[in-house]
Structure 1
Amino acid sequence: MSNKITVLDIPSALNRHIANANTNQSSFGIADGGWNQDDFAVLGNEPGLTHGLPIKTDYYSVILCLNGSCKKTIGHFVFEVYPNSIHLVSPAYITSFEDASDDLLLYQVLFKKEFLTHNFLKENIVDNLLEVNPDYPPIYGLPQKAVISLKALYEKISDESREKGAFHLQILRLLLTDLLYEMNRACESCLLHSTRHLSKQYQLVYKFKKLVEDKFLTLKTVQEYADELFISAKYLTEIVKNETGQNALHVIHNRMYLEAQYLLSSSGLSIKEIAERLNFDNSSHFSRFFKRFAGYNPTEFKQL
């Protein structure tokens, strides 16, 4: 079986952005192909895109939303991106977005961990900055004062990237470190004002969704996950419905569907190979499953 699956790197993300973006849209970010770092870049969002197929990257993104909204999926988290918020995308997870509003405005800094650990920060310090609370969606609301200062910080990073003056990489590392500390400050503030972590029900649903992320290829039923959590399938169904509004089986199937979309769009695998990778009995069973979600079969999806 072929194992060739595309993982998006920073040069590819930059080239795709330059090809799709209107260069007159914004003065923020890299405007041309003159940037040659493969471990750091600054981008705005691509205007006019209402959705993005699932991708996996080899870099982190710290994204400031200044206007508009979209629905974001990062691993087992699904959340709304809203104005005056900042969120983190990790290379550990598949990510996608949909329902982007016409007025969506994002500032994005893309970087590999090595950009900061190369003769600059110790790896354990960077790990601590990037390992924000794993129990919550990685998005944090910002007070207006913080939005103003963070917007200025992003724009300073953008200007430094464009001008490439003396010591620009060292300065970019300092500015990025500042950005990560500000994101962690926003995370701490959100947790301080949240009561959700007190709920045992929320904690159980989080454990369920984390299990789905880790074991969706092998565990297929609500009962199997309930057994892992030492609760009844009925109780698991009830608490998932209460917390998320979704059926527990839908959460399991949705994770499989996300993986199927990713493999169909980012790999050279055949439909039969994808069906095998997802542990379906055969490609016909997989095609029926996929069509229930997408409204069309995997072959038609590949042709979109």
Structure 2
Amino acid sequence: MQNSPLITIEQTLNQYKELHAKNPSFGMDTYAKDFKPDNFVILTNNGKGNKGIPIRCAHYICILALKGGSIRHVNQYDYNITAQSLQLLVPGVIHSFEDTQPNSEFIVLVFNRDFLPQEVEELLAFHNKHLQSIDLDCLEFKNVLNIYEQINIEYKNLKSDYQEITKHLIIQLLYILKREKLAKPKIEIKNRAQQISNKFLSLIEEHFVEYKSVKSYADILNITPKHLSETIKVSLGKSALHFIHKRIIKEIQYLLCYSDISIKQISSNLNFENSSELGRFFKRYEGLSPNTYRLNFHN
């Protein structure tokens, strides 16, 4: 949605503050009185917190899983995160997590686009189109972990040109991730049902503000609503309407938590007839009113 706000590094850290380790041996201490996020942040995630509110960031987040795992939702796709996985979350996508395993541990690198030189635009553009999580083999995992450790050392020591060295380390990390994504066998779309399912999920991300019915998406795909419903149920295990509504709920949650616009304006932005209709829709899925949700979770 064009007018949705993108949250800053500082807002992201505040939202997930309870996940950050206090007095960490690795990474920055977000609890320190003098802590102030700059163009990049590296920290340890202690794995606490089972579920996160959907957020849409203005920056990149590169997450290396050391142990444990979770389910990470990125736009319309779900990724099963396991130990030794690496994933780059890019600006503008809406993402959240749930089902974090006990004793999970992640290293998180956050950086602004402007921190890196213009010359890496093509590299970043590649990652903007390829959002998948990558499972690293033992050798590559050690390689990537070493880069995180070098970034941590540069930050801790604060020697001359440490930011320039950090930039080069981040670029090296992004090239390794690109190489691993390209080396991963592509999932071959073998049949028409898979084609329809993939296209349907992409269309939701493009049109969820405009279209809320299965028929609307079926018309775009030039198939009947019944055909679309049956295909999605078989291919993805849930109804087509579930995926449409799930994306709308994410957007409402995000706007309630990260904007100060009224619920009436949110309902208008998302093409509900009025705020009462939005309220009924939201409560049916979340079990509480938009006002209550905003009071409980507003950042």
Q: Partners in 2 of 1:226 and 1:202 — Cα distance?
A: 15
Give the superposition deviation at 1:12: 3.6
Matched, 1:185 2:179: yes
Aligned to 1:61, the other structure's residue is in SS state: strand
Q: Partners in 2 of 1:208 and 1:54 — Cα distance?
A: 21
Q: Partners in 2 of 1:36 and 1:296 — Cα distance?
A: 35
| Conserved? CA contact 1:17–1:46, under 8 Å | no
Q: Partners in 2 of 1:255 and 1:155 — Cα distance?
A: 37
Matched, 1:9 2:8: yes
Aligned to 2:54, the other structure's residue is in SS state: strand
Give the superposition deviation at 1:158: 1.5
TM-score (norm 1): 0.87
Q: 2:207 aligns with which of 203, 215, 220?
A: 215
Q: 2:128 aligns with which of 108, 131, 138?
A: 131
| Conserved? CA contact 1:161–1:168, under 8 Å | yes
After superposition, residues 37-52 of structure 1 pair within 5 angstroms as 38-52=38-52
Give the superposition deviation at 1:72: 1.5
Give the superposition deviation at 1:127: 2.6
| Conserved? CA contact 2:8–2:57, under 8 Å | yes
Give the superposition deviation at 1:296: 1.4
| Conserved? CA contact 2:69–2:81, under 8 Å | yes
Q: Partners in 2 of 1:65 and 1:125 — Cα distance?
A: 22
Match of 1:74 in 2: 74
Give the superposition deviation at 1:242: 2.5
Deviations 1:171-199 (A, max 9, x none): 11111111001111221222x2x443444
Matched, 1:30 2:28: yes
Unaligned runs of 5+ in 2: none
Matched, 1:165 2:159: yes
Letter aligned with residue 242 of structure 1 = V
Letter aligned with residue 21 of structure 2 = N
Q: Partners in 1 of 2:16 and 2:64 — Cα distance?
A: 17
Q: Which has the higher contact order (CA 8 A, sep 6+)?
A: 1
Q: Partners in 2 of 1:203 and 1:212 — Cα distance?
A: 14
| Conserved? CA contact 1:15–1:33, under 8 Å | no
Letter aligned with residue 22 of structure 1 = A
Match of 1:303 in 2: 295
Letter aligned with residue 170 of structure 1 = E
Letter aligned with residue 127 of structure 1 = A
Q: Partners in 2 of 1:13 and 1:234 — Cα distance?
A: 41
Match of 1:232 in 2: 224
Q: 1:175 aligns with which of 165, 169, 191?
A: 169
Q: Partners in 2 of 1:175 and 1:296 — Cα distance?
A: 45
Count of aligned pairs: 292
TM-score (norm 2): 0.89
Give the superposition deviation at 1:303: 2.5
| Conserved? CA contact 1:43–1:108, under 8 Å | yes
Q: Partners in 1 of 2:165 and 2:191 — Cα distance?
A: 43
Q: Partners in 1 of 2:128 and 2:22 — Cα distance?
A: 34
Among all aligned residue pairs of Structure 1 and Structure 2, give the percentage whose two residues are the same amino acid.
31
Shift in alpha-carbon separation, 1:221–1:13, aligned structure 2, 3 A: closer
Aligned to 2:116, the other structure's residue is in SS state: helix
After superposition, residues 106-125 of structure 1 pair within 5 angstroms as 106-117=106-117, 121-125=119-123
RMSD (Å) for aligned C-alpha atoms: 2.3
Q: Partners in 2 of 1:115 and 1:12 — Cα distance?
A: 18
Deviations 1:135-193 (A, max 9, x none): xx521111122112211211111221222112111111111111001111221222x2x
Aligned to 2:50, the other structure's residue is in SS state: coil
Matched, 1:259 2:256: no
| Conserved? CA contact 1:132–1:138, under 8 Å | no
Unaligned runs of 5+ in 1: none
Letter aligned with residue 175 of structure 2 = Y
Q: 1:201 aligns with which of 182, 193, 198?
A: 193
Shift in alpha-carbon separation, 1:17–1:28, aligned structure 2, 3 A: farther
Q: Partners in 2 of 1:253 and 1:154 — Cα distance?
A: 38
Give the superposition deviation at 1:15: 5.6
